[in-house]
Amino acid sequence: MANLGAFFHRARDREPGPQIMAAAHGRVNLIGEHTDYHQGFVLPMPIPQRTIVTVRRRTDYLVRASSNAVVPGVSEYELGDEARGAGWIDYVQGVTYMLARTGRSVSGFDVTIESGVPPGAGVSSSAALTVALLRALRIMCRLEIGDLEIAQLAQKVETDFIGAPIGIMDQMSCSLGHPDEALFIDTRSLHYERITWPSRISVIVISSGVVHAHAGGEYGVRRRESFAAASLLGVRWLRDATTGMLAGTRLPDPLDRRARHVITENQRVLDAVEALRDRDAERLGELFNASHRSMRDDYETSTPEIDAMVEIAQADDDI
């Protein structure tokens, strides 16, 4: 971290003033996979790992950023000249771009980013970064932005600037989630409810080691397939489809399986919330297992590594 210390030492020489720190946790999604971009239900939960950003106001329009998650050095750009394609700093550029687009005035600043949220591990490293930075700039520039709007702006960083066609679950979880609580979200109304996690049920999060990205690959393919299925069922969002509609319409394979996953996954989230309220660990486990089978067989988003981990966990009587 010596390079980060030297970076702020230089910033201190140029512009005296307090440093402002803010943080956001990563998240794991308990159940509700690939439902948020169909305005469905999700049930994420924060993880202990978090991203911490430290900002200091500048007197010019320059933004200089350094991160412990990338090679040592400082990346920079000028406010108003944000342009996608510069690498990891695109997430910083996206934040200032969206603030300007929504009429918020931001000065130049220096920022260091210290992230304990592993990138590409499916635990929302990019959402943790953008939410943490928005929180810090809210303080530095005295912006009137609530936590829900921070989530909405962070989502637009990814959809409108980065170009990743994602839902809003990650950003809402990182902005609104509390440790030791699950966050039940209706992604259509954006209504959310914090549910205290039962102390007798342990959550164990294990990395599969498989790296993924939202901006391309199978994520984009599945999203397109699911919306094609919705169109054939006569709805805009699979949130509005039912198993009866699916049974009465002969969809081609694999669109029938894509639709079945989203439709049944939405119901599983509702059932999981009830099981959680009832502290019914056995029922919750059954729903988690059914969710995995659906992702593996109907949505085909699982991997051999994840399947093997699930099999090992299911064979362990202590889990």
Catalytic residues: 170
DSSP 18-50: --EEEEEEEEEEEE-TT-GGGT-EEEEEEEEEE
C-alpha to C-alpha distance for 314 and 319, rounded to whole angstroms: 7
CA 315 from chain center: how many Å?
30
- In this structure, what DSSP letter does residue 303 have? -
C-alpha to C-alpha distance for 43 and 37, rounded to whole angstroms: 14
C-alpha to C-alpha distance for 12 and 73, rounded to whole angstroms: 17
Q: 70 Cβ partners below 8 Å, 6+ apart?
A: 87, 88
Amino acid identity for residue 96 in this structure: T
Tokens of 256: 């029938």
Q: Are 103 and 113 in contact, with CB atoms under 8 Å apart?
A: no
Q: Are 74 and 66 in contact, with CB atoms under 8 Å apart?
A: yes
C-alpha to C-alpha distance for 111 and 138, rounded to whole angstroms: 14
C-alpha to C-alpha distance for 109 and 77, rounded to whole angstroms: 10
Bridge partners of residue 50, in order along the sequence? 25
